[in-house]
Each structure stands twice: as C-alpha cells, then as structure tokens.
Structure 1
Amino acid sequence: MAALLCACLVVSLAVLAHLSAEPQAADAAVAAVSEPPDSLTHVVNKTRPLAADYVPQDLVDAGGLLLRSEAAEAYVRMVADAAAEDVRIAPVSGYRSREEQARLHASYTEQYGQEGADSLSARPGYSEHETGLAVDIGNPDGACALETCFDGTAAGIWAAANAHRYGYLIRYPAGAEHLTGYAYEPWHLRYVGPGTAAEIVTSGVTLEEFLGLPAAPGY
C-alpha cells in the first residue's frame, strides 16, 4: 500500500509540474504571435509572413546598406569595433523591398529549382530582410561570400564570437534547418537587441524556440 501511495504521489507531482509549465509556454507563444511587426523580436519565417503593405518606417543608411535605425547604429558600432581589432566586415545586403526579394527568389528558383531555392532564399513577404533588421555580412575580399565556409574567415569568426554583444544573432545556425527552414547561414545576422541576443546565445536555441513558436521547416 505504501509503495502504491508513493507511486501515485510521484505521478501527481509530475502532472502538476506539467500543468504549471504549460501555461508559461503557451503565454510565450501567444506573446510572440501577437507582437507588432515593428517589434525587434517579431519572427518572420516560412509560416509567419509580413503584411503585404509592410515597410519599416525608420530605415537609415548603415554604411552601404539600409537598416532600421537601432539595428543600423548597432551594426556601425560592431563594424567599427571589429576594425579596431584588425578584422574587416563588409556589407553584403540589408533591407530589401518585397519586389527586390521577389526578383532574388526568382533567380534562385531558376538556378536551383523550387525546393533548392526555398532552402536558400525566402519567398517575397517571408524574408527577414524585409523587416530592416537583418544583414548579410562578408569579407572585403569576397572570400567565402554567402557560403558556409564564411564561418572560418576572419569576419565570420569574429561575428560568431561577438555579434550578440551588439544585439545580433546568427539567425540560421548549423543543425537547425528542421526548425528555421533554411540551410546554415553564418553570414546572416538578425537584430533582436543585446539583452535578448545574449539570452538566446547563452541558451543555445533558435529564435523560434526561445519565443515558444513552432518549427517552420516549410511553407
């Protein structure tokens, strides 16, 4: 009888723990879903498109590309601090309009087919670049531009170690394709703010996981 009561108690405690955790996860997911598109942590992925008429209102020049003002300021500081350590980070791509994204995705589709294109490039309306919070970076000499070997170059190594200090994440990390829907992109940085970036890097999860959102491997 004592053993039975003990077993029942363990089961009851496990159920209570599950029930108490469930609302917290649900609350996080609801908060992420209800965030306005101008939120620094607004998630845009293959299941969460931007509104058809969305255009960020605070785009500024960030030294060769456009970004939203807070992200631009952080990017400029990051590039300057890297240069002070003799590491040069070159701008590749920042904000893109929906029309620009449509042209880019069409070129990838023509080159790689629909499935290949969708693993490398977002369809128009589904790209983080349309938020003004994403930036693709490279090396001034073009070494490993938009290739996974970028992570072994000076700019790639420095960004992986330091970008979060400026509020940027490597948005599509290696091994997370089943969650983000995209191949590993060590050059693609997403601004979420320094506090959030630090938490995500420390926890070692994707932005979707951090905010309690479901995986988005496909459209």
Structure 2
Amino acid sequence: MQNKKLWLLSLILIFTLSACQNDDSAKGKEEPGESNTATEQNENQTNDNQEDSQKQNQQENQDDEKQEEESNEQENNEKNIPDRFENEVPDENGIITVLEPKATDIVVNKKRKLPDGYVPPNLVYPDIPFSFDEKIDKRKMRKVAAGPIEELFKGAEEAGIDLVAVSGYRSYATQKAIFNRNVQQNGEEHAKMYSAMPGHSEHQTGLTMDVSTVAVTFQLVEDFRETEEGAWLAKHAHEYGFIIRYPKGKEDITGYAYEPWHIRYVGKEMATEIYEQQLTLEEYFNLYPN
C-alpha cells in the first residue's frame, strides 16, 4: 500500500513537470506576425534614416555648390576690375573723372566723366553707309573701333541685313548743345534719362555708333529691335567686339533708357562675356550705382 502511494505521487510529479516545460516552451515561441512586424519596423526605420541622410547630403551639396558659385562670381568680378579703378577718386558731388580715357574698356556714365577738353585719338571715317551724305564729325570713330564696325556691317550685308549708321563721335560742345535742347523741349528729368550730360557721353569716347534701318525710317527708336536688322544686331554684335550698351531691363544700373540701336566697342573677348552672361558694362566691372 505504501509503495502504491509513492508510485502515484511520482506519476503526478512527472505530469506536473512535463506541463511546466510545455508552458515555458510555448512562452518562448514568438508569434509569426509579431516577428514580421518588428522586422518591418526596423527596416522602415533604417530606410527613413537613409532617406534623411540622403536629403541632408543633397542639401549640403547644394549649399556647397551655391557658395562655390558665389565665390567664383566674386573672384571673376575682382579679376574684371582694372587696377586704375582703385585709384579713381570721386569729387565732392560723387563724380569720378576717368583716369585712362583712351582705354577701350572705359566706363562712362552719369557717375563717371571724361577729362575736361578730352578728344579721342585717331578719329577716322569708317567705310560704312550712313543715313546722311555730309562728311561731318558724327561719321567718325576711333580707328580701333572703325575696322571692327566695317566688319560688322559686312557681316550684316552678307546675311541680307541692311544696317545704316546714324551717329558716331560727338564733341563735348555738340553733346552740350544736344542735352540743353533736350532739356528745353522735354524737361531736365526726361533729358537725363534719354541724353547724357556733356562730358558723360559715350559718343565722346569715339567707341560708339548709333545704327538704324530704313524699316524705321532711320530713326533711333525702340521699335528698331523688332526689325530684322535690330534682331540681327542684338544676336551678332558681340562677334565683332560690340555690345548693346543700354539693354532692356537694366535701366536702374546703366542710368539710361533702353537703346537697342546704341552699340559700343569693347573688343571681342569682353563683348562675348558680356553677351553670354547678359551683363551691362557696369555689372561686368562691378560698378553698380550708389
């Protein structure tokens, strides 16, 4: 009887231990759904981190590129500024008298004037068609610009473009008479926007020519740009060393109204840079108005 009780107790103990082991085994197993969800969460978190890292790298690269562009632009501007500009000192009215008026890269505007009594050297009559027959001063240009403008007119003719020269060199006295007449007819504010004060005119440098065409009856008007001749000039002038000196939309920088007819000789290399970058002469030399 005693042995029978021991045998039953042993059997009960065996069943109890077996049941505990099964429970522990069940608890140790993970549900498939729970395992997959945790894995997906980890993968999503990793992907999110990678995307954030990529975005941060892209932003950093863009910032670096922008800083590099700004640095290069500043370096280019500094390279463009001739040393003589640093020695130019404005007078009590803020007007600078240019130190080297014979330079082909001279900048003359409302804040920069030619020396008193200046007459450009080597004025010649370029062999190009004019809107008048008289052999007078406004036919003239400096020799350094006369050859290139002859080539420009030749190129235009070969392209079937009929350009006509209207006005080149003007003396100080002539510009003074033109400006004063403009003031009397239209008022000083209008005159300063459409006509240079004496001593401040690019025409006095001998590097400038106004051109037109029969389509606008040889007038100097904005409609010239809408003609075949005006379109050709805007597209090809730089190939011969000329720029459209007073472009549209840059009036606040040049100080003058848009003049699609007014071309200025600066040389092929500079003219090409100005054309490709869509700059004014002031912007090219970083000479912004105050």
Q: CA deviation at 1:141?
A: 5.3
Please name the residue that 1:85 is paired with. Answer: 159
Q: Is the 8 A contact 2:122 2:143 kept in 1?
A: yes
Corresponding residue to 1:157 among 225, 231, 239: 231
TM-score between both structures, scaled by the size of structure 2: 0.64
Q: CA deviation at 1:29?
A: 3.9
Q: Is the 8 A contact 2:77 2:284 kept in 1?
A: no
Higher helix share: 2
Q: What amino acid does structure 2 have at the position aligned with 1:33?
A: F
Tell which deviates more after alignment, 197-206 or 28-37: 28-37
Q: For 1:167 and 1:20, how far apart are their aligned partners in 2?
A: 25
Q: Which has the higher contact order (CA 8 A, sep 6+)?
A: 1
Please name the residue that 2:247 is paired with. Answer: 173
Q: CA deviation at 1:32?
A: 6.0
Q: For 1:95 and 1:176, how far apart are their aligned partners in 2?
A: 24
Q: CA deviation at 1:138?
A: 0.6
Taking the TM superposition and a 5 Å limit, the aligned residue runs for 1:24-35 are 25=77, 28-29=80-81, 31=83, 33=85
Instruction: Tell me if 1:193 matches 2:287.
Output: no
Q: CA deviation at 1:30?
A: 5.4
Q: What amino acid does structure 2 have at the position aligned with 1:104?
A: I
Q: What amino acid does structure 1 have at the position aligned with 2:275?
A: V
Q: Which runs of 5+ in 2 are unaligned?
A: 1-59, 87-98, 131-138
Cα-Cα RMSD: 2.5
Q: For 1:154 and 1:23, how far apart are their aligned partners in 2?
A: 38
Q: Is the 8 A contact 1:71 1:191 kept in 2?
A: yes
Quick one: structure 1 residues 154 and 23, their matched pair in 2 at CA, closer, same or farther if it must change by over 3 Å?
Answer: closer
User: Which contiguous aligned blocks of 4+ residues in structure 1 show a shift greater than 2 angstroms?
Assistant: 16-32, 140-144
Q: What amino acid does structure 1 have at the position aligned with 2:257?
A: A
Corresponding residue to 1:99 among 145, 153, 173: 173
Q: Which runs of 5+ in 1 are unaligned?
A: 1-9
Q: CA deviation at 1:144?
A: 6.5
Please name the residue that 1:4 is paired with. Answer: none
Q: What secondary structure, in the 3-state scheme, does the structure 2 residue paired with 1:209 have?
A: helix
